[in-house]
Amino acid sequence: MHALPPEEALVMIAHYFVALADPMRIKIVHALMAGDQNVTTLVKVTGGMQSNVSRHLSKLLLAGVLNRRRQGTQVIYSIADPSLYDLCEQVCGSLEKRFTKKAKVISEAARR
């Protein structure tokens, strides 16, 4: 059995997951998984308003999910921790399996 992390670590973990618990922030993370991007590109890719995307970027930065750097006059955002790719793959893979099972059960029930 794993030892429970200290309270401070638990709070940090919770903040990390809270930062990911929004569809727009997941869109932003997904877009950045394709490579580093500026706000203008993220607005286009996500379909959000610039002020909304900027607000979500700030939350992701504060949680340590993203990094940002200046490149000339632009601010470029990137994924801060490569383990996020594995986390997303695990979650999406798990959901896919679960929904595939549900679809199979529904399909079989409809045939009866």
Q: What's the whole-model pTM score?
A: 0.80
Tokens 């790719």 belong to residue: 85
Which residue from 87, 74, 73, 71 is spatially nearest to 33, judged by alpha carbons?
87
Residues in the chain where the model's pLDDT stays below 50: none
> Which runs of E-coded beta strand occur in the chain?
37-38, 66-71, 74-79
pLDDT of residue 85: 82
Strands annotated E in 9-102: 37-38, 66-71, 74-79
pLDDT at 86: 86
Q: Which candidate, 50, 53, 51, 49, places its Cα nearest to that of 27?
A: 53
Q: What is the pLDDT of residue 59?
A: 95
- CATH 3.40.50.720 is held by the domain 1-80: no
Domain limits, the chain: 1-80, 82-112
State the pairing for strand pair 66-71/37-38.
Answer: unpaired
